[in-house]
Structure 1
Amino acid sequence: MLLGAIADDLTGATDLALMLSREGMRTVLAVGVPPDDFEYQGADAVVVALKSRTSPAAEAVTLSLRALACLTGSGARQVMFKYCSTFDSTPEGNIGPVAEALLEALKTDITIVCPAFPANGRTVYQGHLFVGDQLLSESPMKDHPLTPMTDSSLVRLMHAQTRLPVGLVDRKTVAGGPAAVRDAFERARGQGTKLLVVDAISDDDLRVIGEAAAGLRLVTGGSGIAIGLPENFRRAGLLGVSRITSRFAAPPGRAVTLAGSCSRATRDQIATALAAGTPAFRVDPVAIAETRLSPGQVVEWAVATEGVPLIYSSAEPQAVRDAQQRLGRDRAGEIVEHFLADAAAGLLDRGFSRFLVAGGETSGAVVGALGVPALLIGPEIDPGVPWTLSLGSERPLALALKSGNFGGTGFFSKAWEMLS
């Protein structure tokens, strides 16, 4: 194994695995910390998908260190900690605490912080994170129900989350090439800086940063930063030109879309699907809490529905706040996740084998309910979102696991047309 990666949610893990596969690395995605006898199938890269983004910081650290021990014990030469390109976190973490713990465990002295993903409109300039042409704090992420992002400065955000000194490598330095960035790393070491936010506004910037990071034991960032890492192993003679095949055969069976994300992108995708006449069932968390709605009811509705049914809980920010006020912030989200996961398990029993899931937390819950221990990465639907095939599950399944913020407005129909 050349690269071992720890992702804080499942959709982010598939996004990263897609990036590494596209750059020529044989990549396996493990759902959760793999057991000691896990078969890595000769992978160049292994991505461990955790469900730690919104868990208590101490729990996230513990899970991440378990994943690290598994990866380094299997020979990983470099480790990556992957988080969301919109830096989803709270003032308490979990990005800072996990990065700090990984640095300490690896006994290394410095790492980078770079969530940039220009292909999806996430860029970093002067240490500030942009979503499209908006600062993060002015984007729809300010209304995220679990991790509202009200500051765009990655330097300030990391200062709030960790005890370690934080610095910045600006765009001018990155434009100077890999040598200039490596020099910036050395200056930071001399000053005792441990975490370096790095500007990136293009894929070319990410490749420069990736080359400069060849000597780092730990790299942290969004999946975009991985674009430059495989070439380092290739230069060292450890990775061939490409060993990736594009064969992908989805299993037969019925299809369903499950949407738990309340992001603007997912809400727009749902609106587009509804306008096109997609049969849909909206799940109300209050109705679930009051036992007026059960997963079995939704399963029976979907079975009786022609075409690809859409089951969703996504709602406008005010509706989300109302539900949280009534049920509690964490409980409102957990109710929906468990409901959709139970519905997915019920649909699996009724012959459904193709699942499109929107939302990181929802995807983690659904994949757990479906009993999927690992995934094989397939073709890209939209930037950062591939179709995948289950590995090691009781039945073969096709899954598209979408971060709430990813994909164009017609993503759902595009994904299903790709399989057909």
Structure 2
Amino acid sequence: MLLGVIGDDFTGSSDIANTLAKAGMAVTQYSGVPQGAAAPSVEAGIVALKSRTVPVKDAVRASLAALDWLLAQGCEQIVFKYCSTFDSTPQGNIGPVAAALADRLGASIVPVVPSFPGAGRTVYQGHLFVKDTLLSESGMEAHPLTPMTDPDIRRWLALQLSEPVGHVPFDAVHGGAESIRARMQAEAKAGRRMQVVDTVCDADLMAIGAACAGLKLVTGGSGIAMGLPANFRERGKLSGDGAAWRGNAGPCAILAGSSSRQTRAQVARHAASHPALRIVAGDVIEGRTTPEDVTDWIMRHADELPLAYATADPETVRAVQEEYGRDRAASALEALFAEVARQIVARGVTRLIAAGGETSGAVVEGLGIDALEIGPEIAPGAPALRAGDLTLALKSGNFGEDDFFETAAGILGTGEGEA
């Protein structure tokens, strides 16, 4: 194994796995820290954790365990992957985990590159944009778990750390890999190892990737992985092998828990022409809606691409959190989706689509999936996946076009983008 990735959620891990596979690496994604050794053919191993919103000490502990396993597989470089909208809080995990990994690796330069231009996420003058809107005005300011109220990633990250945060500005990035490398070294010399890097297009990511050759630790969204495989290819270390995708026939179901704007649009689009079951969080918490209820409904509509969703607008989510508590509401829905996934697969569903990072994590844990084969891209940041006889799509909330569910169902089945 050459490149090791530690992802802070399941959908983000699938996202970067997709990026690395497209760039020509042999990729396997693992659900949690594996117990045994990786297959010799794996060139990039992604350890998908569920650490984005857990307590800091738990996130650090899990990330260091993943690091130890990846280093034992021979990894030459580590990537800490988080969301391209830097989902965190002033007391959040991104800074502490990055610092702990850097300390363990002895890394003096740690690029911070959340950008993913293909999905509209860019950084300029240290500020993160979603398309043409500052992050703090994009809807992420109302995120129920990680409200992003400040678009300045330097300032946000500094709140989480006990060390200064550096910056590699656009003029240095525009100068290419050598210019980027020189600025990184200057920032490190000034005592700023954590360095937010401006990125406005894919060409910038390729230059940043080249500048990261030989660094022990890189952090960012999936976009940072675009330029990293070339460093190994130039050294003749990549096999160039790839596995052919095998789709599944049979029933397909959709579980949606994300409350992002894009998932809400996807739910509305799908519900207009397919069976859709709205899951009310209060009914789940109070026991009025059970996994068996949802499973039975899905199986009655198994041939119609059914959607079961807890997706709601931020005001509704906030009201539920105020009544029941954030953790209780989230854990109840995750437990429901985990059990529903287990039951519907046991009853014959062969294709499963999950929308939302927490929902996807719950589904994978509920199914007991250890490793995922990476297939073709459904949408930027969302690949098709295979686990044994099951094909899956694990979608971050904001990713995909409005017709994502039908497109995903087709690719998970025949490889074509239609249900």
Q: TM-score range by the shorter chain?
A: over 0.9
Aligned to 1:57: 56
Conserved? CA contact 1:5–1:82, under 8 Å: yes
Conserved? CA contact 2:167–2:187, under 8 Å: no
Deviates more, 1:230-239 or 1:121-130: 230-239
Aligned residue runs from structure 1 range 168-207, under 5 A: 168-207=167-206
What amino acid sits opposite 1:336 in the alignment?
L
Aligned residue runs from structure 1 range 17-416, under 5 A: 17-35=17-35, 37-240=36-239, 242-245=240-243, 247-275=244-272, 277-305=273-301, 306-391=303-388, 396-416=389-409
What amino acid sits opposite 2:30 in the alignment?
A
How far did 1:253 drift?
A: 2.8
Conserved? CA contact 2:37–2:73, under 8 Å: no
How far did 1:164 drift?
A: 2.0
Segments ≥4 residues shifted beyond 3 Å = none
Q: 1-side partners of 2:64 and 2:105: how far apart? A: 10
Q: 2-side partners of 1:20 and 1:263: how far apart? A: 26
How far did 1:250 drift?
A: 2.3
Aligned to 2:2: 2
Q: 2-side partners of 1:234 and 1:380: how far apart? A: 22
What amino acid sits opposite 1:403 in the alignment?
S
TM-score by length of 2: 0.97
What amino acid sits opposite 1:99 in the alignment?
A
Q: 1-side partners of 2:295 and 2:205: how far apart? A: 44
Aligned to 2:417: none
SS at match of 2:212: helix
Q: 2-side partners of 1:302 and 1:26: how far apart? A: 35
Q: 1-side partners of 2:155 and 2:111: how far apart? A: 15
Q: 1-side partners of 2:230 and 2:57: how far apart? A: 34
Q: 2-side partners of 1:168 and 1:292: how far apart? A: 51
Point out where structure 2 has 5 or more consecutive residues left out of the alignment: 415-419
SS at match of 1:215: coil
Conserved? CA contact 2:19–2:222, under 8 Å: yes
Q: 2-side partners of 1:254 and 1:410: how far apart? A: 18
Q: What is the total number of aligned residue pairs between the two structures?
A: 412
What amino acid sits opposite 2:403 in the alignment?
G
The percentage of counterpart residues that share the same residue type is: 49
Point out where structure 1 has 5 or more consecutive residues left out of the alignment: none
How far did 1:145 drift?
A: 0.7
How far did 1:41 drift?
A: 4.3
Conserved? CA contact 1:100–1:164, under 8 Å: no
Conserved? CA contact 2:351–2:409, under 8 Å: no
Conserved? CA contact 2:38–2:73, under 8 Å: no
Q: 2-side partners of 1:63 and 1:411: how far apart? A: 32
Conserved? CA contact 2:377–2:384, under 8 Å: yes
Superposed CA deviations along residues 179-223 of structure 1, whole A, max 9, x for unmatched, are: 101110111121111100000000000000000010210000000
Superposed CA deviations along residues 156-193 of structure 1, whole A, max 9, x for unmatched, are: 01100111221110111101011101110111121111
TM-score by length of 1: 0.96
Q: 2-side partners of 1:304 and 1:160: how far apart? A: 50
